[in-house]
Structure 1
Amino acid sequence: MTSSTDPFSASIIPFEVPEQVRAFAEKGVSQARDNYAKFKDVAESHNGTMEAVFTSANKGASAYSAKLFEFFKANTTSSLDFAQDLLSVKTPAAAMELWTSHAKKQFETFSAQAKELAELGQKVATETVEPIKASAAKYQQPAA
Protein backbone atom coordinates (compact mmCIF):
# COMPACT_ATOMS: atom_id res chain seq x y z
CA MET A 1 0.00 0.00 0.00
CA THR A 2 1.35 3.36 -0.90
CA SER A 3 1.33 6.40 1.30
CA SER A 4 -0.90 8.32 -1.10
CA THR A 5 -3.79 5.89 -0.53
CA ASP A 6 -3.16 5.44 3.20
CA PRO A 7 -5.78 7.55 5.04
CA PHE A 8 -3.63 7.70 8.19
CA SER A 9 -0.64 9.22 6.48
CA ALA A 10 -2.59 12.13 5.09
CA SER A 11 -1.77 15.50 6.58
CA ILE A 12 -4.07 16.59 9.38
CA ILE A 13 -6.06 19.68 8.76
CA PRO A 14 -5.59 22.05 11.70
CA PHE A 15 -8.77 22.33 13.70
CA GLU A 16 -9.43 25.00 16.25
CA VAL A 17 -11.97 24.44 19.04
CA PRO A 18 -14.42 27.33 19.31
CA GLU A 19 -14.17 29.34 22.53
CA GLN A 20 -17.75 28.49 23.59
CA VAL A 21 -17.07 24.74 23.28
CA ARG A 22 -13.80 25.11 25.19
CA ALA A 23 -15.53 27.07 28.00
CA PHE A 24 -18.33 24.50 28.15
CA ALA A 25 -15.80 21.65 28.39
CA GLU A 26 -13.79 23.43 31.08
CA LYS A 27 -16.98 24.06 33.08
CA GLY A 28 -17.91 20.37 32.76
CA VAL A 29 -14.48 19.27 33.99
CA SER A 30 -14.68 21.71 36.90
CA GLN A 31 -18.13 20.43 37.89
CA ALA A 32 -16.93 16.83 37.62
CA ARG A 33 -14.02 17.61 39.97
CA ASP A 34 -16.37 19.29 42.46
CA ASN A 35 -18.81 16.38 42.33
CA TYR A 36 -15.98 13.90 42.79
CA ALA A 37 -14.73 15.80 45.85
CA LYS A 38 -18.25 15.83 47.34
CA PHE A 39 -18.68 12.12 46.60
CA LYS A 40 -15.33 11.35 48.22
CA ASP A 41 -16.28 13.35 51.35
CA VAL A 42 -19.64 11.59 51.63
CA ALA A 43 -18.06 8.16 51.12
CA GLU A 44 -15.44 8.83 53.79
CA SER A 45 -18.08 10.15 56.15
CA HIS A 46 -20.28 7.12 55.59
CA ASN A 47 -17.37 4.80 56.29
CA GLY A 48 -17.17 6.41 59.71
CA THR A 49 -20.93 6.09 60.08
CA MET A 50 -20.85 2.39 59.24
CA GLU A 51 -18.03 1.82 61.71
CA ALA A 52 -20.07 3.60 64.39
CA VAL A 53 -23.15 1.50 63.54
CA PHE A 54 -21.23 -1.78 63.77
CA THR A 55 -19.49 -0.73 66.98
CA SER A 56 -22.81 0.22 68.56
CA ALA A 57 -24.50 -2.96 67.35
CA ASN A 58 -21.65 -5.09 68.68
CA LYS A 59 -21.77 -3.35 72.05
CA GLY A 60 -25.55 -3.75 72.18
CA ALA A 61 -25.39 -7.43 71.25
CA SER A 62 -22.84 -8.00 74.00
CA ALA A 63 -25.06 -6.25 76.55
CA TYR A 64 -28.07 -8.27 75.39
CA SER A 65 -26.13 -11.55 75.59
CA ALA A 66 -24.85 -10.66 79.06
CA LYS A 67 -28.41 -9.94 80.20
CA LEU A 68 -29.63 -13.26 78.78
CA PHE A 69 -26.84 -15.09 80.58
CA GLU A 70 -27.70 -13.27 83.82
CA PHE A 71 -31.35 -14.34 83.47
CA PHE A 72 -30.36 -17.91 82.60
CA LYS A 73 -28.19 -18.11 85.71
CA ALA A 74 -30.90 -16.64 87.96
CA ASN A 75 -33.60 -18.93 86.52
CA THR A 76 -31.40 -22.01 86.85
CA THR A 77 -30.59 -21.15 90.47
CA SER A 78 -34.29 -20.61 91.18
CA SER A 79 -35.19 -23.97 89.62
CA LEU A 80 -32.50 -25.80 91.57
CA ASP A 81 -33.63 -24.13 94.82
CA PHE A 82 -37.20 -25.16 94.03
CA ALA A 83 -36.13 -28.77 93.42
CA GLN A 84 -34.22 -28.82 96.70
CA ASP A 85 -37.19 -27.35 98.60
CA LEU A 86 -39.53 -29.84 96.93
CA LEU A 87 -37.42 -32.74 98.21
CA SER A 88 -37.83 -31.53 101.80
CA VAL A 89 -41.67 -31.29 101.87
CA LYS A 90 -43.58 -33.84 103.97
CA THR A 91 -47.11 -33.75 102.51
CA PRO A 92 -48.66 -33.55 99.05
CA ALA A 93 -50.51 -30.40 100.12
CA ALA A 94 -47.21 -28.72 101.07
CA ALA A 95 -45.71 -29.83 97.73
CA MET A 96 -48.70 -28.36 95.85
CA GLU A 97 -48.43 -25.09 97.79
CA LEU A 98 -44.69 -24.89 97.08
CA TRP A 99 -45.28 -25.70 93.41
CA THR A 100 -48.00 -23.04 93.08
CA SER A 101 -45.87 -20.44 94.83
CA HIS A 102 -42.86 -21.23 92.65
CA ALA A 103 -44.94 -21.14 89.44
CA LYS A 104 -46.39 -17.73 90.38
CA LYS A 105 -42.94 -16.36 91.24
CA GLN A 106 -41.45 -17.71 87.99
CA PHE A 107 -44.27 -16.21 85.92
CA GLU A 108 -43.65 -12.80 87.51
CA THR A 109 -39.90 -13.20 87.02
CA PHE A 110 -40.27 -14.22 83.36
CA SER A 111 -42.63 -11.30 82.73
CA ALA A 112 -40.19 -8.82 84.28
CA GLN A 113 -37.29 -10.35 82.35
CA ALA A 114 -39.19 -10.20 79.06
CA LYS A 115 -40.00 -6.53 79.70
CA GLU A 116 -36.36 -5.77 80.55
CA LEU A 117 -35.14 -7.57 77.41
CA ALA A 118 -37.64 -5.67 75.25
CA GLU A 119 -36.48 -2.36 76.72
CA LEU A 120 -32.83 -3.32 76.22
CA GLY A 121 -33.54 -4.39 72.64
CA GLN A 122 -35.26 -1.05 71.95
CA LYS A 123 -32.33 0.84 73.49
CA VAL A 124 -29.80 -1.13 71.41
CA ALA A 125 -31.80 -0.53 68.22
CA THR A 126 -32.08 3.19 68.94
CA GLU A 127 -28.37 3.54 69.72
CA THR A 128 -27.42 1.52 66.64
CA VAL A 129 -29.47 3.73 64.31
CA GLU A 130 -28.29 7.00 65.89
CA PRO A 131 -25.10 7.36 63.74
CA ILE A 132 -27.20 6.86 60.60
CA LYS A 133 -29.68 9.54 61.71
CA ALA A 134 -26.84 11.95 62.50
CA SER A 135 -25.22 11.32 59.13
CA ALA A 136 -28.51 11.75 57.27
CA ALA A 137 -29.24 15.01 59.09
CA LYS A 138 -25.79 16.29 58.15
CA TYR A 139 -26.36 15.75 54.45
CA GLN A 140 -30.04 16.63 54.31
CA GLN A 141 -30.76 19.42 51.85
CA PRO A 142 -32.91 22.30 53.09
CA ALA A 143 -36.30 22.57 51.40
CA ALA A 144 -36.56 25.32 48.81
Structure 2
Amino acid sequence: MSDANTNEVNGNPKVGFGLPLFAFPKAFQGIAEQNATRAKEQFEKVKEASAEISLLLREAYSINATGTADYAAKLVEISNTNSSSALAFVTDLAGTRSLLEAIQLSAEHGRRNFEVATAQNKELWELTKKVATETSEPLKKSLARALKTAS
Protein backbone atom coordinates (compact mmCIF):
# COMPACT_ATOMS: atom_id res chain seq x y z
CA MET A 1 0.00 0.00 0.00
CA SER A 2 1.22 3.52 -0.62
CA ASP A 3 -0.45 5.00 2.46
CA ALA A 4 1.82 6.99 4.79
CA ASN A 5 0.57 4.87 7.70
CA THR A 6 1.69 1.64 6.01
CA ASN A 7 5.01 0.07 6.87
CA GLU A 8 6.51 -3.38 7.09
CA VAL A 9 7.50 -5.24 10.21
CA ASN A 10 9.36 -8.52 9.72
CA GLY A 11 8.25 -8.62 6.09
CA ASN A 12 4.52 -8.37 7.01
CA PRO A 13 2.70 -5.23 5.95
CA LYS A 14 1.28 -3.17 8.83
CA VAL A 15 -1.43 -0.53 8.55
CA GLY A 16 -2.42 2.21 10.95
CA PHE A 17 -2.06 1.11 14.56
CA GLY A 18 0.42 -1.62 13.79
CA LEU A 19 -2.28 -4.11 12.81
CA PRO A 20 -1.26 -6.59 10.12
CA LEU A 21 -2.85 -6.24 6.71
CA PHE A 22 -4.45 -9.58 5.95
CA ALA A 23 -3.56 -11.11 2.66
CA PHE A 24 -6.82 -12.30 1.07
CA PRO A 25 -6.75 -14.63 -1.88
CA LYS A 26 -7.21 -12.86 -5.22
CA ALA A 27 -10.74 -14.29 -5.64
CA PHE A 28 -11.88 -12.69 -2.38
CA GLN A 29 -10.28 -9.39 -3.33
CA GLY A 30 -12.20 -9.40 -6.63
CA ILE A 31 -15.47 -10.14 -4.86
CA ALA A 32 -14.80 -7.43 -2.29
CA GLU A 33 -14.03 -4.92 -5.05
CA GLN A 34 -17.21 -5.87 -6.94
CA ASN A 35 -19.29 -5.52 -3.78
CA ALA A 36 -17.71 -2.16 -3.01
CA THR A 37 -18.42 -1.00 -6.57
CA ARG A 38 -22.05 -2.18 -6.34
CA ALA A 39 -22.47 -0.54 -2.96
CA LYS A 40 -21.13 2.72 -4.37
CA GLU A 41 -23.50 2.49 -7.36
CA GLN A 42 -26.47 1.78 -5.09
CA PHE A 43 -25.49 4.66 -2.84
CA GLU A 44 -25.42 6.98 -5.86
CA LYS A 45 -28.85 5.74 -6.96
CA VAL A 46 -30.28 6.26 -3.48
CA LYS A 47 -28.68 9.70 -3.35
CA GLU A 48 -30.31 10.64 -6.68
CA ALA A 49 -33.68 9.28 -5.56
CA SER A 50 -33.38 11.15 -2.27
CA ALA A 51 -32.68 14.40 -4.12
CA GLU A 52 -35.70 13.80 -6.37
CA ILE A 53 -37.94 13.04 -3.41
CA SER A 54 -36.71 16.15 -1.61
CA LEU A 55 -37.52 18.32 -4.63
CA LEU A 56 -40.86 16.59 -5.00
CA LEU A 57 -41.78 17.20 -1.37
CA ARG A 58 -40.84 20.87 -1.69
CA GLU A 59 -43.13 21.19 -4.70
CA ALA A 60 -45.94 19.36 -2.91
CA TYR A 61 -45.53 21.58 0.13
CA SER A 62 -45.71 24.68 -2.07
CA ILE A 63 -48.88 23.42 -3.78
CA ASN A 64 -50.38 22.51 -0.43
CA ALA A 65 -49.49 25.89 1.09
CA THR A 66 -51.20 27.67 -1.80
CA GLY A 67 -54.26 25.46 -1.44
CA THR A 68 -54.35 26.04 2.30
CA ALA A 69 -54.22 29.80 1.75
CA ASP A 70 -57.11 29.53 -0.72
CA TYR A 71 -59.07 27.46 1.81
CA ALA A 72 -58.41 30.01 4.58
CA ALA A 73 -59.51 32.84 2.27
CA LYS A 74 -62.71 30.94 1.49
CA LEU A 75 -63.36 30.48 5.23
CA VAL A 76 -62.93 34.22 5.81
CA GLU A 77 -65.34 34.92 2.93
CA ILE A 78 -67.88 32.47 4.37
CA SER A 79 -67.51 33.95 7.83
CA ASN A 80 -68.13 37.42 6.42
CA THR A 81 -71.21 36.23 4.54
CA ASN A 82 -72.61 34.49 7.61
CA SER A 83 -71.93 37.48 9.87
CA SER A 84 -73.66 39.83 7.43
CA SER A 85 -76.62 37.47 7.23
CA ALA A 86 -76.91 37.27 11.01
CA LEU A 87 -76.73 41.06 11.33
CA ALA A 88 -79.39 41.48 8.64
CA PHE A 89 -81.60 38.96 10.44
CA VAL A 90 -81.27 40.76 13.78
CA THR A 91 -82.03 44.09 12.09
CA ASP A 92 -85.10 42.64 10.35
CA LEU A 93 -86.21 40.91 13.54
CA ALA A 94 -86.04 44.20 15.43
CA GLY A 95 -88.43 45.68 12.86
CA THR A 96 -91.14 43.04 13.27
CA ARG A 97 -94.49 44.07 14.75
CA SER A 98 -95.96 40.74 15.78
CA LEU A 99 -94.96 37.35 17.05
CA LEU A 100 -96.25 35.72 13.87
CA GLU A 101 -94.13 38.03 11.72
CA ALA A 102 -91.05 37.21 13.88
CA ILE A 103 -91.69 33.47 13.54
CA GLN A 104 -92.11 33.73 9.76
CA LEU A 105 -88.93 35.80 9.48
CA SER A 106 -87.08 33.31 11.64
CA ALA A 107 -88.29 30.35 9.54
CA GLU A 108 -87.35 32.11 6.29
CA HIS A 109 -83.94 33.04 7.68
CA GLY A 110 -83.35 29.45 8.85
CA ARG A 111 -84.28 28.04 5.43
CA ARG A 112 -82.01 30.53 3.67
CA ASN A 113 -79.16 29.81 6.08
CA PHE A 114 -79.54 26.08 5.49
CA GLU A 115 -79.31 26.58 1.71
CA VAL A 116 -76.33 28.91 2.04
CA ALA A 117 -74.57 26.58 4.48
CA THR A 118 -75.13 23.65 2.11
CA ALA A 119 -73.62 25.62 -0.78
CA GLN A 120 -70.72 26.80 1.41
CA ASN A 121 -69.98 23.26 2.58
CA LYS A 122 -70.02 22.09 -1.03
CA GLU A 123 -67.56 24.84 -1.98
CA LEU A 124 -65.25 23.91 0.90
CA TRP A 125 -65.46 20.22 0.01
CA GLU A 126 -64.64 20.93 -3.66
CA LEU A 127 -61.72 23.13 -2.61
CA THR A 128 -60.46 20.40 -0.26
CA LYS A 129 -60.66 17.80 -3.03
CA LYS A 130 -58.86 20.13 -5.43
CA VAL A 131 -56.00 20.76 -2.97
CA ALA A 132 -55.71 17.05 -2.16
CA THR A 133 -55.66 16.10 -5.84
CA GLU A 134 -53.22 18.82 -6.83
CA THR A 135 -50.92 17.84 -3.97
CA SER A 136 -51.10 14.07 -4.37
CA GLU A 137 -51.06 13.70 -8.16
CA PRO A 138 -47.46 14.87 -8.69
CA LEU A 139 -46.45 12.89 -5.60
CA LYS A 140 -47.88 9.65 -6.96
CA LYS A 141 -46.22 10.04 -10.36
CA SER A 142 -42.84 11.29 -9.21
CA LEU A 143 -42.51 9.10 -6.14
CA ALA A 144 -42.93 5.96 -8.21
CA ARG A 145 -40.26 7.23 -10.61
CA ALA A 146 -37.89 8.17 -7.79
CA LEU A 147 -38.28 4.80 -6.09
CA LYS A 148 -37.71 3.04 -9.41
CA THR A 149 -34.47 5.04 -9.78
CA ALA A 150 -33.33 3.87 -6.35
CA SER A 151 -33.89 0.20 -7.12
Q: Please tell me the TM-score bracket, short chain as reference.
A: 0.7 to 0.9
2:45 is aligned to 38
Equivalent of 1:23 in 27, 30, 48: 30
Residues of 1 paired with 2:11 and 2:136: CA distance? 62
Look up the match of 1:55: 62
Structure 1: tracts of 5 or more residues without a match: 1-8
Q: Match for residue 79 of structure 1?
A: 86
% identity of equivalent residues: 32
* Distance in 1 of aligned mates of 2:83 and 2:53: 44
How do residues 1-144 of structure 1 correspond to structure 2 at under 5 angstroms? 11-13=10-12, 17-139=24-146, 141=148
Residue 130 (structure 1) shift: 2.1
Q: Distance in 1 between matches of 2:58 and 2:31?
A: 40
Asked if structure 1 preserves the Cα contact closer than 8 Å seen for 2:53 and 2:146, the reply is: no
* Alpha-carbon separation, structure 1, partners of 2:57 and 2:113: 41
Task: Give the TM-score normalised by structure 1.
Answer: 0.82
Shift of 1:22: 2.3
Q: What is the TM-score when the length of structure 2 is the normalising length?
A: 0.79
Cα displacement (A) at 1:90: 1.8
Q: CA deviation at 1:74?
A: 0.3
- Higher strand proportion (structure 1 or 2): 2
CA RMSD of aligned residues (A): 2.0
- The match for 1:4 is none
Q: Compute the displacement of 1:115 (Å).
A: 1.5
Cα deviation code 1:18-51 (max 9, x no counterpart): 3322221221121111111101101100110111
